Amino acid sequence: MTDAYQPTERENLQQLLAVAWFKLEQQPLEAAVLARRAEHLARRSGNNRAWAQSLFIWGVCSLYGGDNHEAIVLLSRALAVYRFLDDEQGQWSCLKAIALAWGYLGDAVQALETHSQANTFKRQAEFAGKARWLRWFATN
The total domain count for the chain is 1
Q: How distant, in Å, are the alpha carbons of 82, 90, 130, 139 from that of 108?
A: 25, 23, 26, 20
Using CA atoms, how far residue 63 sits from 75, 81, 95, 116, 126, in Å, is: 10, 19, 13, 20, 23
H runs (alpha helix) in 3-118: 9-23, 28-45, 48-64, 68-85, 88-104, 108-118
**Cα separation of 112 and 109, whole Å?**
5
Determine the pLDDT at residue 5. 44
The CATH number linked to 35 is 1.25.40.10
Q: Is residue 140 part of a domain?
A: no
In a domain, residue 2? The reply is no
Task: Tell me if 51 is assigned to some domain.
Answer: yes
Q: Residue 118 sits in which domain range?
A: 9-131
Predicted pLDDT at 140: 55
pLDDT tens digit at each of 140 positions of the chain: 455 544 466 678 999 999 999 998 888 889 999 999 999 999 999 999 999 999 999 999 999 999 999 999 999 999 999 999 999 999 999 999 999 999 999 999 999 999 999 999 999 888 887 877 776 665 55
Residue 1 is assigned to a structural domain of this protein:
no
